[in-house]
Amino acid sequence: MTVHPFARPIGAQHARVRQLLALRKDGSPGRIMVEGTWEHDRLLTTSATIEALFWCPEAGPPDIANLAARAAEVYRISEKLLARIARKTRPEGLISIARVPEWRPQAFRFTNRSLVLVADGVEYAGNLGTLIRTADAANADCLVLTSRRARPTHPAVYSASRGTVLSTPIVEFDDIPSAAAWLRSHRFRVHLADPAATGTYRVPQYDGPTAFVVGSEGAGLSPAWHDEGFDAVSIPMLGQADSLNVALSAGILLFEARARKEGW
């Protein structure tokens, strides 16, 4: 076993442990808790800053050289402390605090191939993570958040997004009119995903900058989005269910538009 020379042993009262316990609950602006083996393999493929790495030699990999080289601080923790701070039922001995990139609305430049997903009022961290992963898979330019309920820095978002929360641009607006104005300023054709809409998602041409707005799991889209006067599209329900999971709906819409833009 290779013990990193800077892996200092620490206990439960250390300031970094207290910070980690706060992140474990709901995340915090700019920082996210990363836990597990594949999660850290993915972390190493990003340019994210690793502020602190917590390693339990009894439960984790024997060599952490690559991770330790990227981390600003490296700590060794006991199995007892690992069990206290881990979210997984079978902890894998690796936990980190990583910085989440900050994206500013004014930094973006869009083309006719651009795709944007807007998530309005999404309540569950798992669904938010899946939306991020879906936006990444469809090569969307960014994910826009309005009326946010779930934090992008919640630990469950990292897992559900397969780590793409660290590479997918995410922009949050304080109110819906501001988000709508930003999309209009970049000439986006905005489509509201609404199960009650009469027009299906197959009708639009998607030949310019395209944005889809999906709503929360329970209440759907905020009325303020409808007040903006954008067109609404639906995914036909052919069975007994009246709607699809928000992430599945987003995937259908994004890949339809991407296929049109790329000529698949």
Percent of the chain residues past pLDDT 70, beyond the cut: 98
Q: What is the pTM of this model?
A: 0.92
pLDDT tops 60 at residue 3? no
Domain borders along the chain are 7-99, 105-262
pLDDT-derived band at 1 (thresholds 50, 70, 90) equals very low
105-262 adopts what CATH topology?
Answer: Alpha/beta knot (3.40.1280)
pLDDT tens digits, one per residue of 179-197: 999 999 999 999 999 988 8
pLDDT tens digits, one per residue of 246-263: 999 999 999 999 999 999
7-99 falls under which CATH superfamily? Answer: Ribosomal protein L30/S12 (3.30.1330.30)
What local confidence, expressed as pLDDT, does residue 6 receive? 59
> Are both 7-99 and 105-262 of the same fold?
no
What local confidence, expressed as pLDDT, does residue 61 receive? 86
pLDDT tops 80 at residue 58? yes
Among 10, 5, 7, residue whose Cα is nearest residue 84: 10
Among 255, 225, 254, residue whose Cα is nearest residue 116: 254
